[in-house]
Amino acid sequence: MNLDISASKMYTKRLRGWLSYAFGSEVFVIVSLTLFLPICLEQFARDNGFLLPDRTERCTAPTLGSETPAESTGRCVVKIGWFWIDTASFSLYVYSASVALQALTVISMGGIADHPPHRKLLLVSFGLCGALAATVFLILPSSSPVWFVSALLACVANVGFGASVVAMNSYLPSLAKDSPEVVEILLEIQESTDESDDIPERVSENIEAPLIARTVSEERVNQQARYDTALSRATSRISSLGIATGYGAGICLLIVALIPVTKLHGSTLSLRLAIGLSGIWWAVFTLPAALWLPGGHAAVDENPSWPETSDGKWSTRREIVAAWRRLGGMLHPREIKRLRNTFKYLTAWFLLSDGFTTITSTAVLFGKTSLHMQPSSLILIGILTPLAGILGSLLWPILQRRVGWSNLRVIIILVMLASVIPAYGCLGFLSIFQGGLRFGGLTTPGEMFGLAVYFGFIFGAFQSYARAFYAELLPPGEEARWYGLYSITDKSSSFLGPLIVGLISDVTGNIRYAFFFLIFMIWAAVPVLMSVDVERGRKEAREYVYN
C-alpha cells in the first residue's frame, strides 16, 4: 500500500511538472510567436528602413510629445547586407529561417531525447535558451546599431520552443500509461493472467476443453481492448489538460500585455515589453518542470522500457549522426509499409496542420485588409480564440466519454466542423450579401468575433486530440524521435499554405478566394483519416523494431 501511495505521489509530481512547462511555453506562442513578434520584427525593420523609390527618406521619424514614431505612407525597404528587403517581408524571412533551423534541430535531437538521462536536460536547456532570447528583446531598442540581432533572437526563441516541445510531447505516452485508471486496468489484467495460468496445460479430452481455452482467449482480448480504450482516453485527457493550461496562461499574459500596448499606442517599446514578459514567464515556469520531471537514473527507473546504450558510453556527436541516418531509414518505403497507419496519419496531419494554421493567418489578414479592423480588435480576437480553445479542450473529452467516440472519430468531426469556416467565407461572393444586407459570408467585423470563438472551440480540442491520437501509433521507447517527425511534418507544411494563399491574393487581388483553397486542403485530409486502422496501427507500433 505504501508503494502505491509513493507511486501515486511520484506520478502526480511528474504530471504537474509536465503541465508547468505547458503553462510556461505556450505563452510564447500565443503572446509572441503568433501576435507580437511578427509585428515587432516588421517595426524594427521599418524604424531602420527608407521609402522607395529614392531610399533617402526614413520610413518613421520621431515626433515631439509622442513615444510613437510618425509613419510615412509608401513602400518601405531596409538594407540587410547588400540587399534591400521589404520591411513586411523581413518578418516572413525570419520566420522561414527559424522554421528551417527548428527542423534541423528537431531531427538532430530525436535520438538524444529518447535517452532517459538526456530528455529533461534537452527540454530545460532549449526552454531556457528560448526564454532568454525572448527576454533580451527588453534591452534591444530598434534604434540600436545592432537592431538586426532581433532576427537572431527570434530564431533562437522559436528553435528553443520547437525543440523543447518535442521533448515535452515525448513524456505524454508514459504519463498516460502511468495514469491511475490505466494502471488499475493493467493490474486487473495481470491478476487475471495469473489466475488463468493455474489452468492445467493438459486437460482431459472432453467437450468442455476447447470452450475453456476459447473463453480464456476471448477474455484476454476483451481486457486488451479495455486497456487500449483507457489508455487512449487518458492520453487525450492529459493532452487536453496541457492545451487548456497553456491557453489559460497565454490569455492571462495577453491581457497583461495589452496594458502597455494600449498606453504606449503600439510603439516598438510596448511590443518589446510584451515579448520580454513572455520570455520571463516561460523561464519561470520551466523551473518546476526541471524539478519535477524525471531525469537521469530516475527516468530509467520509472520507465524501464526506455532503451539504454549498448556499450554504456554516450556520444552526442554519434547520436546526432545516427539521428540523421535513422530519419532516412524511417522514411524508407520498407519502414513506411511496416508502420502504414502511422504514416497515413502523418500524411493527414501534414494537410490539417497547414490548413488550420493558414485559416488563422488568412482570417487575421482578411480582417485587417478587407474588413479594415483596428489592431485593438485583432488583439481582442487573439484573446477570444484561446479562451474558446480552453473550453473546447476541456468539454470535448467530456462529450467523448458520454457518447463513447474514439479519438479518431472526434478528430474527423472536428475537421468537418472546421471546414465550415472557409465555406462561410466563400458565401461572401453571393450577391445577396453584397447588397443592402451587410451580414453573412464574413462581410462585417462582428462576424469575425463569432468565428474566432467558433474556431477556438474547435482548434483547442483538435490540437490536443491530434497529439494524443498520434501517441497511440508510436513504437514504445521512441517517442521523441517520432514526435520529432510529427513536428517536422507540421513545420514543413507551414510553408505551403501561406505561399499558395499569397499567390491567390496576388493573382486575383482578393484574398477571399483563398477560402476555396482552404476548403479543399481540409477536406483532402478526411479520406486519409478515415483510412487509418487504429487497432492495426497500435499492433504495428507495439511489434515494430527498427532494423
- The pLDDT of residue 522 is above 80: yes
Q: Residue 251 pairs with which residues in a beta bridge?
A: none
3-state helix, strand, coil in the chain (%, to 5): 75, 5, 20
- Is residue 91 within 8 A of residue 36, CB to CB? The reply is no
- Is residue 98 within 8 A of residue 122, CB to CB? The reply is no
Q: What Rg value do the Cα atoms of the chain yield, rounded?
A: 26
- The pLDDT of residue 456 is above 80: yes
> What is residue 31's DSSP assignment?
I
- The pLDDT of residue 138 is above 70: yes
Provide the 3-class DSSP secondary structure of residue 236: helix
Which three cell numbers, joined as nine digits, stand for 14? 511528474
Residue 73: pLDDT band (50, 70, 90) is low
Measured distance CA(37)–CA(140) in Å, rounded: 13
Which three cell numbers, joined as nine digits, stand for 196? 488463468
More confident residue, 82 or 459: 459
Of 179-183, 326-330, 404-408, 530-534, the range with the lowest mean pLDDT is 326-330
Which three cell numbers, joined as nine digits, stand for 92? 516572413
pLDDT for 2: 47
More confident residue, 27 or 262: 27
pLDDT for 305: 45
Chain centroid to CA 54: how far?
43
The DSSP code sequence of 433-498 is: GTSS---SSS-SHHHHHHHHHHHHHHHHHHHHHHHHHHHTTSPTT-HHHHHHHHHHHHHHHTTHHH
Instruction: Choose the most confident range, by mean pLDDT, from 146-160, 246-260, 352-366.
Output: 146-160
More confident residue, 523 or 204: 523
Q: Residue 86 pairs with which residues in a beta bridge?
A: 77
- State percent of the chain over pLDDT 70: 79
- The pLDDT of residue 291 is above 70: yes
Residue type, 544: Y
pLDDT for 413: 94
Of 122-126, 345-349, 359-363, the range with the lowest mean pLDDT is 359-363
pLDDT for 67: 44
pLDDT for 25: 93
> What is residue 170's DSSP assignment?
T
First vs last C-alpha separation in the chain: 42
More confident residue, 432 or 415: 415
Q: Residue 80 pairs with which residues in a beta bridge?
A: 83
Average model confidence (pLDDT) for the chain? 78
Instruction: Work out the burial of residue 78: count CB atoms within 10 Å of its CB; fewer than 13 is exposed, 13-18 middle, 19 or more buried.
Output: buried
C-alpha distances in angstroms, 61 versus 34, 58, 388?
27, 7, 40
- Is residue 140 within 8 A of residue 99, CB to CB? The reply is no
| 159-181 residues labelled b (16+ CB within 10 A) or e (exposed) | bbbbbbbbbbbbbbbbbbbbbee
- The pLDDT of residue 433 is above 80: no
Residue 208: pLDDT band (50, 70, 90) is very low
pLDDT for 201: 46
Which three cell numbers, joined as nine digits, stand for 466? 491530434
- The pLDDT of residue 317 is above 50: yes
- The pLDDT of residue 101 is above 50: yes
Q: Is the dihedral of CA 147, 152, 157, 158 positive or negative?
A: positive
- The pLDDT of residue 152 is above 80: yes
List Cβ neighbours of 366 (8 Å cut-off, separation of 6 or more): 425, 442, 511, 512
| All domains of the chain in start order, with CATH | 1-61+70-181+245-306 (1.20.1250), 324-547 (1.20.1250.20)
C-alpha distances in angstroms, 352 versus 215, 381, 387, 415, 530?
43, 22, 22, 8, 14
Q: Could you report the per-residue pLDDT of 484-513, keeping only the tens digit for each? A: 777 766 654 465 666 677 667 656 767 778
- The pLDDT of residue 399 is above 80: yes
Q: How many CA atoms lie within 13 A of 29 on its CB side?
A: 20
- Is residue 166 within 8 A of residue 106, CB to CB? The reply is yes
